[in-house]
Amino acid sequence: MHTVEEKVDRLEKVLEGFIISVRDAQVRTETELRDFKDEMRKDRREMNIKWGEMAKKMGTMVEDLAAPSIPRIVKEKFGLEPRFFGIRVKKWLNGKVKEYDVIEVAGDYVFLNSTKSTLESSDIRDFIKDISVFREFFPEYEDKKIIGMVASLYEDDSVLKYAEKNGLIVLAVGDQIMEIKNTKGFKPKEW
């Protein structure tokens, strides 16, 4: 027979083994959980990079759809042939860079285009700022009137009205890839 002390000692050893086993399991669980969290962070970073790349590709895809339509639209609406046509034109001045999605020079005009996959009112405000500094970056067109165009896959009525209120031609997908969506009789602003 075992004495009470022996039983207590065995019970303490069993309990000690159990506690060690639980601690080991807890350490393994914490390690596995930390590894899982690290893997999830890595996957999230990779996914964010892929989303960013996809968003960039979507933006350039819309630009690639809009740009070829602009000379046709300028010819149809204004009867002018392009003298210069540039896509994604960048110019540096005093350490600053300015990029325009499309610049077309025709007659006495410079047509500037900003293209977004989804056009927002804030894009209109930003583009008007870009128009206001255009001559600083391109003084060679000082004598030209500027007409602004915004292009998108889809135009929301409120954004269309806001763009019109600010004198911008609005282009969106239509029967001929891109077409003017402004209301009949709209006259674009000349800067």
- Domain ranges within the chain, ordered by starting residue: 1-60, 67-180
Digitized pLDDT (tens) for each residue of the chain, 191 residues in all: 678 788 778 888 888 888 888 888 888 888 888 888 888 888 788 877 777 666 666 667 677 778 888 999 999 999 999 999 999 999 999 999 999 999 999 999 999 999 998 889 999 999 999 999 999 999 999 999 999 999 988 778 999 999 999 999 999 876 666 778 888 899 898 88
What pLDDT does 89 receive? 95
According to CATH, what is the number of the domain 67-180?
3.40.1350.10
Half-sphere exposure at residue 68, Cβ-oriented, CA atoms within 13 angstroms? 8
Residue 83 amino acid letter: R
Q: What pTM does this model have? A: 0.67
Residue 93 pairs in a beta bridge with 96
What pLDDT does 29 receive? 86
Token pair belonging to 8: 């207590």
Instruction: Give, for 145, the enclosing helix (H) or strand (E).
Output: strand 145-152
Q: How far apart are CA 83 and CA 94, in angstroms?
A: 27
Residue 66's nearest CA partner among 100, 106, 108 is 100
Q: How far apart are CA 59 and CA 32, in angstroms?
A: 40
Helix boundaries (H) for 67-143: 69-78, 121-132, 134-137
Q: What is the DSSP letter of 183?
A: P
Number of residues assigned to the chain = 191
Q: How far apart are CA 59 and CA 187, in angstroms?
A: 28
